Structure 1
Amino acid sequence: MKHMYFLVFFLVALSVGAQNNAIAAGERLTYTASYNMSGILTNIAEVTMETSAIKTSKATLLRLKCTAATYSKWDHFFKIRDLYESYVNPNTLTPYLYKRDINEGNYYKFVQYTFSHKTNTVKSIQRKRNNQEQKNDVSIKPDTKDIVSTLYGIRLFDFKNMTIGTHKSLNILFDREEVKAQITFLGKETISTAIGNKLCYKLAIYTSDDVLKGGTKSNLVWLTADDNKIIVYGKFNIPVGNGELKIKSATGLKN
């Protein structure tokens, strides 16, 4: 099941140095996550993405918070209460601090990354239930980011000037390892959503490991073709099955 929620919070990339004209504090996006159970897509969880301003002694950061929780009727089958959050530069979405708190059935994990972009290293802390704390330093590439800042960073792309078939590569730090990924721009498509019919940018996602399956066009995501570029729909195919992510509501948008 952890593969499912990696994908829910994955969904692609950003260009280094791009300026944030799409995301502001106070935004709240809510989604329904469905999973194929015995051949039927079943709504099993709610995913929420929220932004807020956090003041420190040196600067004001943007907090990117993502949560996933199974609906109560599924808790007896597999209860999920997951939190992912990243504290980033509000202008570039460059991450400084990342936290992941996972509660899935009997499985628990806490991970924290502190980024040092000058040295291209990350100080990592990991704790599991009844395990001692593990600390280590991880060397990263200059463009490597955590999964949450990567997810929001897709919205900084200039899709208006992107040609169909364009590929973008990126590196994501997940479970203290860099995951190589690629997105492909497939053009525009109008789809029906809970917040209305939306003209969208359509993207395909591919990773070099076993997180995603089915080739370069089996995992897809649609972003609104406007100045906000919010994710409204996603389809995924992973080792334990397939499913969808559909938007329910969107408030506090910047544009």
Structure 2
Amino acid sequence: MNRSHLILAIITLSIYLSFKQYEQNRVIPNYSFCTGEKVEYRVHYGFINAAEAKVEIAKSVSVVNNRPCFKVNATGRTVGAFDLISRVRDTWRSYIDTSAILPHMFERQIQENKYRKDEKVIFNHNKDQAISSEKNETKTFNVPNNIHDIISGYFFLRTINFEKVSEGEVIEVPTFFDGEIYKLRVRYSGKDVIKTKFGKTRVLRLHPIIPRNKLFKGESPMRLWISDDSNKIPLKAEVELVIGSLEMDIKSYKGLRKEITWF
């Protein structure tokens, strides 16, 4: 390699590394959530209460990978008759960078009948790697730049300005889950007004696109209504199953950055 080619290569590499570092230290404007937020949901199958879910941001900021992070807990449990048929006690946890809205650590403790799973994933965004640990076994996966986990992907979607998203447009978020990389895909379907236990409010309609499987019905079996304000919290969801459907409604909330307008 002659001197001119060497200089060109060094300049090109420097530009690439500078751009990559910028991407890793990105700053996403966040007007949607903060520490202390807590939202609870009721899941029902027809008139039967099936489960309860809760999404909660800790009141204090945690530090992971030397970065300040929101500690987010998402829990779900079956109740009533469903608890006798299929007992579920699941906890999902993500430590999300307060500036970049990217995950630094993801944990899940799954208890579903006799099935158990306890996994921890550390994200090294400098090397674009996800290191998964489970039962004294550690695996390292190469992942795309700015990868998300399930929870951080949801919180990233809350930062999106849907006024700049066209109706019918599909938003894609690269996501790492269970050792695989896929795109979390959500279609924006416009605005609406719905009624909740707190009153009526304006919402945005979203359709998460789920790969076909034996449990759900069709490619878009889920409909999600989120508040049409800066919070963008889910207020209602419907899931079409092969047999019947599940509905989720907001049960309680506190600690939002902005009070929801009901009418």
CA 1:209–1:115: 2 relative to 1, 3 Å: farther
Q: Percent identity?
A: 24
* C-alpha contact 2:51 2:78 (8 A) present in aligned 1: yes
> Could you report, residue by residue, the CA deviation over 1:193-222 in whole angstroms, capped at 9, with x for unpaired residues?
123212001011113463874445431111
| 1:168 corresponding residue in structure 2 | 171
Structure 2-normalised TM-score? 0.80
Matched, 1:28 2:38: yes
Aligned counterparts of 2:28 and 2:61: Cα–Cα separation in 1? 21
Residue 73 of structure 1: how far off its partner (Å): 4.6
Aligned CA distance change for structure 1 residues 207 and 141 (closer, same or farther; 3 Å): farther
In structure 2, do the counterparts of structure 1 residues 60 and 142 end up closer, same or farther at CA, with 3 Å as the change threshold? Answer: closer
State the Cα distance separating 1:161 from its structure 2 match. 2.3
The match for 2:73 among 65, 72, 75 is 65
**Structure 1 residues 236 and 30, CA gap change in structure 2 (3 angstroms):** same
The 8 Å contact of residues 211 and 219 in structure 2, kept in 1 or not, is answered as no
Matching of residue 82 in structure 1 with residue 109 in structure 2: no
- Determine if contact 1:195/1:247 at 8 Å carries over to the other structure: no
Give a deviation string over 1:6-28, Cα, whole Å, max 9, x none: xxxxxxxxxx8532111110010
The 1:138–1:220 alpha-carbon spacing in structure 2 relative to 1, beyond 3 Å, is same
Q: Indicate the residue corresponding to 2:19 in structure 1.
A: none
Structure 1 counterpart of 2:29, from 5, 8, 19: 19
- Give the structure with the higher percent helix: 2
Deviations 1:89-132, CA, capped at 9 Å, x for gaps? 123321100000000111100111100111111110123xxxxx
CA shift for structure 1 position 226: 0.7
Query: Are positions 1:144 and 2:150 aligned together?
Result: no
Alignment coverage as a number of residue pairs = 231
Q: CA RMSD in A?
A: 2.2
C-alpha distance in 2 between matches for 1:211 and 1:51 = 33
Q: Compute the displacement of 1:34 (Å).
A: 2.2
Greater C-alpha Rg: 2
Q: Does 1:51 align with 2:65?
A: no
SS, match of residue 56 in structure 1:
strand
Normalising by structure 1, what TM-score?
Answer: 0.83
Partner in structure 2 of residue 229 of structure 1? 232
Gaps of 5+ in 2: 1-25, 259-263
CA contact (8 A) 2:226 2:234 kept: yes
> 1:179–1:207: 8 Å Cα contact kept in structure 2?
no
Structure 1 regions of 5+ residues with no counterpart?
1-15, 128-132
Q: Quick one: higher RCO (CA 8 Å, sep 6+), 1 or 2? A: 1
CA distance in 2, matches of 1:107, 1:160: 43
Distance in structure 2 (CA, Å) of the matches to 1:241 and 1:135: 39
2:194 counterpart of 1:191: yes
The answer to whether the 8 A contact 1:194-1:249 is kept is no
Secondary structure of 1:76's counterpart equals: helix
Quote the Cα distance in structure 1 between the aligned partners of 2:176 and 2:132.
11
